[in-house]
């Protein structure tokens, strides 16, 4: 059986498990109750992202048995992703102190890098630079930031799912262009698992992802990008470009709040996408806009980098420039004015 038949099976599995989790959340009153920092107005079941986790982990096991993926990446995804999902699940059902969550995040990042062999040499303007232990340290910080920013950006219906699906499908196209089609399998399985959940999470959402799902997606996407860097340095730049919508909004918001002296670990709703959703009065236009930016802007830029038409650093700056303009336009990191 072709490996690509796994995709529909994973999607159906994720869809079914999300329905079961929604019923469980309703019965146990595991609900996200709107408050002053929320971007929604109706109590909604949460924790549906566990379906993404379980469906993807099942696909990993199946792929391992069938011999369709390398052991190192499978171990990195299963170990790091599993740890982040468990910690996120526990936090969804109670509260874990920030220091313990952060410790688990760095443990997951360290495990990933050990499995993958550290950080691959990076390519700048045609030159490859091996940063050694410094590269591994920076890679750990990158993974921890990526999983946290993914949690921060999971604030309106469908946005985190759409980001993961478009990034994974876009990366699969980059792999094909770069001659590394064998790397497509895992991103396609993650896209399928996320798509099954998205059926329930598409605006208006009937269940939310929760920290277990959002943190899991963040760390897994980060692992994919580092795996790709070992195959070809330009693919790492491609991943950074594809994830630009989330990276720019979250990073700009964080830096602006830090500069103002805010307690950045406290909940807020000052990301650009949150201001945009309140301005529109709905989540759907913003979620669709993110999908459009990813497909019609960031993907072509990433393709130009992978095809060798543009240097990785230049491509990153080109891809991020309009996203930065949008972050400023939609007041990312600013204080709310009259509830808007």
Q: Which residues are annotated as a binding site?
A: 151, 211
| Tokens (6 digits) for 109 | 């990042």
Distance between CA atoms of 169 and 184, rounded to whole angstroms? 9
User: Are 273 and 143 within 8 A, CB to CB?
Assistant: no
CA distances from 97 to 32, 83, 100, 130, 308 (A): 19, 16, 6, 36, 45
Closest CA to 106 of 133, 138, 78, 131: 138
Q: End-to-end CA distance of the chain: give it in Å, rounded.
A: 53
Annotated binding site for Mg(2+): 151, 211
What are the b/e assignments for 160-173, b being 16+ CB within 10 Å?
bbbbbbbbbbbbbb
- Token pair recorded at residue 85: 């999902």
44-45 vs 127-129, strand pairing mode: unpaired
Residue 95's CB: how many other CB atoms inside 10 A? 9
Largest CA distance in the chain: 58
């Amino acid at each position: 059986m072709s490996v690509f038949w796994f995709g529909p099976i994973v999607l159906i599995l994720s869809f079914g498990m999300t329905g079961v989790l929604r019923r469980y959340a309703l019965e146990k009153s595991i609900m996200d109750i709107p408050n002053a920092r929320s971007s929604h107005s109706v109590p909604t079941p949460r924790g549906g992202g566990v379906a993404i986790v379980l469906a993807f982990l099942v696909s990993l096991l199946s792929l391992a048995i069938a011999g369709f993926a390398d052991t190192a990446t499978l171990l990195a995804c299963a170990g790091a992703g599993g740890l982040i999902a468990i910690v996120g699940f526990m936090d969804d059902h109670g509260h874990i102190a920030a220091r313990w969550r952060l410790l688990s995040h760095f443990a997951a990042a360290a495990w990933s890098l050990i499995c993958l062999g550290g950080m691959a040499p990076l390519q700048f303007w045609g030159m490859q630079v091996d940063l050694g232990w410094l590269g591994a340290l920076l890679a750990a910080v990158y993974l921890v930031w990526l999983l946290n920013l993914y949690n921060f950006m999971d604030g309106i219906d469908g946005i985190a799912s759409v980001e993961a699906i478009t990034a994974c499908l876009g990366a699969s196209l980059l792999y094909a262009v770069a001659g590394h089609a064998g790397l497509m399998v895992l991103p396609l399985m993650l896209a399928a698992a996320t798509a099954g959940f998205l059926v329930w999470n598409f605006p208006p959402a009937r269940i939310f992802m929760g920290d277990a799902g959002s943190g899991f997606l963040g760390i897994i996407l980060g692992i994919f990008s580092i795996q790709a860097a070992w195959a070809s340095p330009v693919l790492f730049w491609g991943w950074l470009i594809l994830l630009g919508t989330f990276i720019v909004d979250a990073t700009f918001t964080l830096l602006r709040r830090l500069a103002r002296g805010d307690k950045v670990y406290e909940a807020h709703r000052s990301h650009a996408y949150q201001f945009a959703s309140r301005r529109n009065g709905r989540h759907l236009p913003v979620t669709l806009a993110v999908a459009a930016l990813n497909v019609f802007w960031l993907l072509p830029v990433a393709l130009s980098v992978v095809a060798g038409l543009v240097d990785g650093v230049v491509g990153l700056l080109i891809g991020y420039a309009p996203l930065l303009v949008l972050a400023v336009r939609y007041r990312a990191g600013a204080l709310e004015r009259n509830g808007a």
